[in-house]
Structure 1
Amino acid sequence: MNAADDKTIVREYFNSTGFDRWKRIYGDGEVNKVQLDIRTGHQQTVDTIIGWLKDDNNLSELSICDAGCGVGSLSIPLASEGAKVYASDISAKMVSEAQDRSVKLFSNSTNPTFAVQDLESLSGNFHTVICLDVLIHYPQDKADEMISYLCSLAQSRIILSFAPKTCFLSILKKIGSFFPGPSKATRAYLHREADVVKILEKNGFTVQRQAMTRTRFYFSRLLEATRA
């Protein structure tokens, strides 16, 4: 299956059954134990990113692109901290939900700004580009293209998360437990950290901070890289 097909699958999934599933997971309503575990893991990753940016004491001065924003789990709190946020997602339903959640908090504010776009159609320059929980839907060659393109939009920093390709996770994926459930998700691709670092370095970025979120059903390696 080629990368174009993967993109179509992602778009269709998050505009249909996937939207309902992940809207619940990223919300605060009642969910099953597996979904609660994933919600907890995702929130830990979001909290780590926000913590990193707040520790630098200049968040309110930053322009941030949240590429693959989902329902706004990261975009909205970043905007509430004063950052200027441009958020996009391939799924129109996800973007609509993110806008609804944003309006409840910010009324008629234009920050964050939301748009329905895939990564390749993004344009502009941002101090920081963030791509959270997107690369898992794409094979390594497509992930390399995405990372390179996102690097071209980042003036100073890029933050990425991905499911690391380790022996444990490869076995877990093989036995079908990586994302349990009949409507689990698109294909789940694992990526070697060395490959991600290599493509970052090829585009002039050096890893500065890293973290790992690990729950029972959520595994996310987080890298922050800055321009050399």
Structure 2
Amino acid sequence: MPAYDQTRARVEDYFDRTATKTWERLTSDAPVSRIRETVRAGRDRMRDLILSRLPDDLRGARILDAGCGPGVATIALAERGATVVAADISPQLIDIAQLRLPHDLQSQVTFHTGDMLDPKLGQFDAVIAMDSLIYYTASDIGAALAALEPRVSGPIVFTVAPRTPALMAMWYAGKAFPRSDRSPVMIPHAHPKLMSAAKSAGVRRMLRPVDRITSGFYISEAMELRP
């Protein structure tokens, strides 16, 4: 997937070159600006929503945390008893996640620096991908889901940027900045186009919206493929 690979390279460069300290702070208890407080609160709510789609007792389950970042969801999954593969393209974020992982959970977590779609990661009972597909086109998301679907026996829960007036305004504003100065641009999606792209890519399960979280500058929608 050439377009997917190009976007992944831009995202990797952004997080390792520019955003590591920002995300380390945002996903901690450290003081942040009011704008980032809204993002932190929105991400906390979205993480809770995604985790609510999985059983409370995950003992015996193998879960992929795709785009694990600093590992907040990884810890929550391991605390429920899951064996977790925590994958991220950013080596620096993986380093933070490893440092934050409590000692008593370390035997349950395997970290992977690289592509979350790597088939070498094996089979899973469920996959979560929080805000790790928001930079990709509908066709790339469809292809990613098609690649994961045969390897996952249970739900695939992920987020997209919903195509709302507020988010579209932010999207166009972001495109006004010089390319060298801005983060990778989120690509907003409407449900019909995303569902069509998944079907065209060969996804067999029904793609369904779960819920939308809006918190200041954080706007994200949870979707899922469920058997």
TM-score category of the 2 structures, normalised to the smaller one:
0.7 to 0.9
Residue 153 of structure 2 is matched in structure 1 by: 155
Judging changes above 3 Å, is the alpha-carbon distance between structure 1 residues 41 and 130 closer, same or farther for their aligned structure 2 residues? same
- Work out the CA distance in 1 between the residues paired with 2:137 and 2:15: 18
- Spell out, residue by residue over 1:86-121, the C-alpha distance to the aligned partner (whole angstroms, 9 max, x if none): 11000000111101101xx23473212111011332
Moved more, 196-205 or 12-21: 196-205
Q: Conserved in 2, the CA contact under 8 Å of 1:63 and 1:128? A: yes
Q: Any unmatched runs of 5+ in structure 2?
A: none
Specify the code of the residue in structure 2 equivalent to 1:28.
Answer: D
- Work out the CA distance in 2 between the residues paired with 1:19 and 1:137: 17
- Work out the CA distance in 1 between the residues paired with 2:96 and 2:27: 11
Q: Any unmatched runs of 5+ in structure 1?
A: none
CA RMSD between the two structures? 2.3
Q: Which TM-score applies when normalising by structure 2?
A: 0.86
How far apart are 1:184 and its partner, in Å? 5.7
| Secondary structure at the counterpart of residue 108 of structure 2 | coil
Judging changes above 3 Å, is the alpha-carbon distance between structure 1 residues 114 and 9 closer, same or farther for their aligned structure 2 residues? same
- Is 1:40 matched up with 2:69? no
Residue 90 of structure 1 is matched in structure 2 by: 89
- Work out the CA distance in 1 between the residues paired with 2:58 and 2:153: 15
Residue 81 of structure 1 is matched in structure 2 by: 80
- Is 1:68 matched up with 2:28? no
Residue 26 of structure 2 is matched in structure 1 by: 25
- Work out the CA distance in 2 between the residues paired with 1:5 and 1:207: 25
- Work out the CA distance in 1 between the residues paired with 2:74 and 2:27: 13
Percent of pairs with identical residues: 26
Residue 118 of structure 1 is matched in structure 2 by: 115
- Work out the CA distance in 2 between the residues paired with 1:2 and 1:146: 12
- Is 1:100 matched up with 2:87? no
How far apart are 1:148 and its partner, in Å? 1.7
Q: Conserved in 2, the CA contact under 8 Å of 1:148 and 1:199? A: no
How far apart are 1:6 and its partner, in Å? 1.9
Moved more, 73-82 or 184-193: 184-193
Moved more, 189-198 or 210-219: 189-198
Aligned length: 219
Specify the code of the residue in structure 2 equivalent to 1:68.
Answer: G
- Spell out, residue by residue over 1:148-178, the C-alpha distance to the aligned partner (whole angstroms, 9 max, x if none): 212232112211111112333212321349x
Residue 140 of structure 1 is matched in structure 2 by: 138
Q: Which TM-score applies when normalising by structure 1?
A: 0.86
Residue 211 of structure 1 is matched in structure 2 by: 211
Q: Conserved in 2, the CA contact under 8 Å of 1:68 and 1:131? A: yes
Q: Conserved in 1, the CA contact under 8 Å of 2:62 and 2:83? A: yes
Detail structure 1 runs of 4+ shifted over 6 Å in the superposition: none
Moved more, 200-209 or 131-140: 200-209
Q: Conserved in 2, the CA contact under 8 Å of 1:119 and 1:150? A: no
Judging changes above 3 Å, is the alpha-carbon distance between structure 1 residues 14 and 50 closer, same or farther for their aligned structure 2 residues? same
- Work out the CA distance in 2 between the residues paired with 1:220 and 1:132: 9
Q: Conserved in 2, the CA contact under 8 Å of 1:119 and 1:146? A: no
How far apart are 1:224 and its partner, in Å? 2.4
